[in-house]
Amino acid sequence: MDDKGIYTDFKEQMTYGEYLNLDQILSSQTRLSGHHDEMLFIIIHQVSELWMKLILHEITSAITAIQRDELPEAFKMLARVSRVQTQIIQAWDVLSTLTPAEYMEFRDHLGRASGFQSYQNRQIEFALGYKQPHILKIYEKDQALAAKLKRSYEAPSIYDVSIKALAKAGFPINESLLQRDFSMTYSGDDSVADAWLKVYQDVDTYWDLYQLAEKLVDIEDSHQQWRFRHMKTVERIIGNKTGTGGSSGVAYLKTVLNHRFFPELWDVRTKL
């Protein structure tokens, strides 16, 4: 192999590590307990947060694309979200190698810090339409972050803009939905159900809307798989103990499994 062309002089050039800020990233794993397995715990959560950042980057751009009637562009972004979701689902498999005894060696060092407080996870839930007002209180310590979360909380979700896309296509959507308070969690509407049914009954005519619906189902399906793997991993490691952040732990994680982001897209399967 001829490797004479490989560049080795970086005195005046940017390196791979500098481009990625690797010194900063790789020095951010501070074990408070010094316990061997705390490194696993930190890295899994940091990696998941990076993937969440990409999910938010793609899903917020997809919302904008749908608002601009650029559905094919949104499909590419939403397909990428689904691929990223497979990564954060599989991360639970790695964390599940942490045994209860190992976790208890450093759990007390977490204090009240908890994955329950992940603001990016909340932003993803907001973007998907699940909005709970009491959650915002967690972030009041940081005014800039609290303001950012409030903007996400009040913004239309991807399903809100998808419902508007149905209206733009000529479907008789309940007008109050199009002007509703987007800080309220969507619970369903007959006009939306009727519109999606017609889309699925005439796929050729409404191909783009059909594709949008299926992309949304992909994302909700994967998000619920992530929630389930989260719940089972927590149950495996701490059983039914209260979470470090004060939540009921497994009991809370089980309740959110029952929530549906896009109810009509699941109901339509029964109606077809």
Closest CA to 146 of 129, 123, 116: 123
**How does DSSP assign 77-119, residue by residue?**
HHHHHHHHHHHHHHHHHHHTTS-HHHHHTTGGGGTT--GGG-H
Mean pLDDT, rounded, of the chain: 94
Instruction: Give the residue ranges of the annotated binding site for heme.
Output: 230
In CATH, which of 1.10.1060.10, 1.20.58.480, 3.30.1160.10, 1.10.10.10 is domain 36-107+117-163+181-270? 1.20.58.480
Average pLDDT score over residue span 17-44: 96
Instruction: Give the residue ranges of the annotated binding site.
Output: 41-45, 103, 107, 230, 244
The tens digit of pLDDT for each residue in 12-24 reads: 899 999 999 999 9
Instruction: Give the residue ranges of the annotated binding site for substrate.
Output: 41-45, 103, 107, 244
Closest CA to 47 of 80, 15, 79, 94: 94
Q: For 256, what's the count of Cα atoms within 13 Å in the CB-facing half-sphere?
A: 22
The tens digit of pLDDT for each residue in 203-259 reads: 999 999 999 999 999 999 999 999 999 999 989 988 888 766 666 678 888 888 989
Least confident of 66-80, 84-98, 132-146, 184-198: 132-146
Question: Dihedral angle at the C-alpha atoms of 74, 199, 259, 50, nearest 10 degrees?
Answer: -10
The residues, ordered by sequence, that sit 6+ positions from 9 with a Cβ below 8 Å of its Cβ are: none
Position 63 pLDDT exceeds 90: yes
What residue segments make up the domains of the chain, in order of their start?
36-107+117-163+181-270
Tokens 């932003």 belong to residue: 123
Environment class of 49 (CB within 10 Å of its CB; exposed 0-12, middle 13-18, buried 19+): middle
DSSP 186: P
Helix ranges (H only) for the chain are: 16-19, 22-26, 38-67, 71-95, 100-104, 119-128, 143-154, 158-168, 175-178, 190-201, 207-238, 250-256, 263-271
pLDDT of residue 243: 65
Closest CA to 107 of 62, 41, 46: 41
Measured distance CA(267)–CA(213) in Å, rounded: 12
Query: What angle, 0 to 180 degrees and rounded to 10, lies between the N-to-C axes of helices 143-154 and 119-128?
Result: 20
